[in-house]
């Protein structure tokens, strides 16, 4: 009697396949290629062109892919670490910047020149570049305009505080440049990994397709990583 799968089961299986990680796929390919020369498998697949040399070539491709995946993992970790440092430093600078803007808005109320020069009425940009430009302008204006500097000193925004914020902003820009470099290296590593994967995985899939046809024996298929449903 013909049976059909539960739609929910089909959806679950599709979901698992769709979200299978590259690490999972590499692991499956490794099992397949490592066991492709086992007796009972190698001689059968040889009939469709899978010579020992061809299997070795697939293994070599997989070894190269594993190295590229390791490089990509490291570069991505470096990118995340640099991004975390960047965000932490920016948050620390911004916390003071927000306070200083609020104090200045009260202090310079009615002073159009100061309000405009310091941009204390303007919305704070979300983008890093826009935010950086606004913060730099604020502290550089306070540092260079004597009347501004004298007045804000009365609410705790001293010359030392201003200079410290300017130094922190310079350090933040350096960190941003480093983070951009790490991001570029991570992307390059990802692209190299993806290219190697896209070249190898179809070859693996084709091998599995042939194996399913030529190796109806459950044990043989299990040896190369193909799960077989019990009859």
**Tell me: the pLDDT tens digits for 130-168?**
999 999 999 999 999 999 999 999 999 999 999 999 999
Q: Which residue has better confidence, 20 or 82?
A: 82
Answer whether residue 182 shows pLDDT above 80.
yes
| C-alpha separations of 79 from 74, 178, 203, 205 in Å | 9, 9, 32, 32
As a whole number of angstroms, the distance between CA 166 and CA 172 comes to 10
The percent of residues above 70 in pLDDT, for the chain, comes to 91
Residue numbers of the domain that contains 219: 23-223
**Per-residue pLDDT tens for 197-231?**
999 999 999 999 999 999 987 788 999 999 877 65
Residue 18 lies in a domain: no
Query: Is residue 15 one of the residues assigned to a domain?
Result: no
- What pLDDT is attached to residue 20? 84
Q: Which of 70, 86, 84, 83 is nearest to 190 (CA)?
A: 70
Q: Is the pLDDT of residue 38 over 50?
A: yes
Write out the DSSP string of 184-223: HHHHHHHHHHHHHHHHHHHHHHHHHHHHHHH---HHHHHH
pLDDT(16) > 60: no
**What confidence category does residue 12 fall into, taking pLDDT thresholds of 50, 70 and 90?**
very low
The model's confidence at residue 13, banded by pLDDT at 50, 70 and 90, is: very low
In a domain, 122, yes or no: yes
Q: How crowded is the C-beta side of 149, counted as CA atoms within 13 Å?
A: 13
Nearest Cα neighbor of 137 from 171, 105, 110, 101 is 101
Q: Give the confidence band of 173 by pLDDT, cuts at 50, 70, 90.
A: very high
Please, where are the H alpha helices in 108-144?
A: 112-118, 128-144
User: Distances from the Cα of 144 to the Cαs of 118, 133, 184, in angstroms?
Assistant: 12, 16, 37
Q: pLDDT tens digit string along 46-78?
A: 999 999 999 999 999 999 999 999 999 999 999
CB-neighbour burial class of residue 229 (10 A; exposed 0-12, middle 13-18, buried 19+): exposed
pLDDT of the residue at 104: 97
pLDDT at 97: 98
Q: Please, what is the average pLDDT of the chain?
A: 91
Cβ atoms of 155 and 103 closer than 8 Å? yes
Q: Is the pLDDT of residue 17 over 80?
A: no
pTM for the whole structure: 0.79
- Amino acid 216: pLDDT: 85
**In whole angstroms, how large is the CA radius of gyration of the chain?**
31
> Does 45 score more than 80 pLDDT?
yes
Encoding tokens for residue 170? 């310079």
Let me know if residue 3 belongs to a domain: no
**Residue 131 resides in a domain:** yes
CA–CA–CA angle 124, 163, 181 (5° rounding): 65
Q: Residue 117: inside a domain, yes or no?
A: yes
Number of structural domains (the chain) is 1
Q: Look at residue 14 and tell me if it is in a domain.
A: no
Query: What pLDDT, on a 0 to 100 scale, did the predictor assign at position 160?
Result: 98
Does 13 fall in a domain? no
């Amino acid at each position: 009697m013909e049976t059909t799968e539960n739609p929910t089961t089909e959806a679950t299986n599709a979901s698992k396949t769709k979200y299978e990680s590259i690490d999972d796929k590499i692991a499956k390919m490794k099992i397949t290629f490592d066991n492709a020369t086992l007796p009972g498998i190698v001689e059968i697949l040889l009939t469709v062109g899978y010579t020992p040399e061809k299997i070795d070539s697939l293994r070599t491709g997989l070894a190269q892919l594993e190295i590229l995946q390791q490089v990509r993992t490291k570069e991505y970790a470096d990118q995340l670490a640099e991004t975390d440092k960047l965000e932490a430093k920016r948050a620390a600078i911004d916390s003071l910047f927000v306070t200083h803007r609020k104090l200045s808005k009260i202090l310079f109320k009615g002073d159009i020149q100061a309000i405009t020069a310091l941009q204390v009425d303007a919305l704070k940009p979300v983008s890093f570049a826009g935010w950086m430009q606004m913060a730099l302008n604020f502290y550089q204006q306070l540092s260079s305009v004597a009347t501004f500097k004298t007045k804000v000193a009365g609410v705790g925004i001293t010359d030392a505080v201003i200079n410290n914020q300017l130094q922190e902003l310079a350090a933040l820009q350096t960190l941003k440049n480093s983070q951009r470099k790490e991001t570029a290296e991570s992307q390059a590593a990802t692209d190299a990994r993806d290219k190697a994967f896209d070249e190898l995985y179809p070859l693996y899939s084709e091998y599995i397709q042939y194996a399913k046809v030529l190796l109806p024996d459950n044990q043989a298929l299990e040896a190369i990583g193909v799960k077989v449903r019990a009859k």
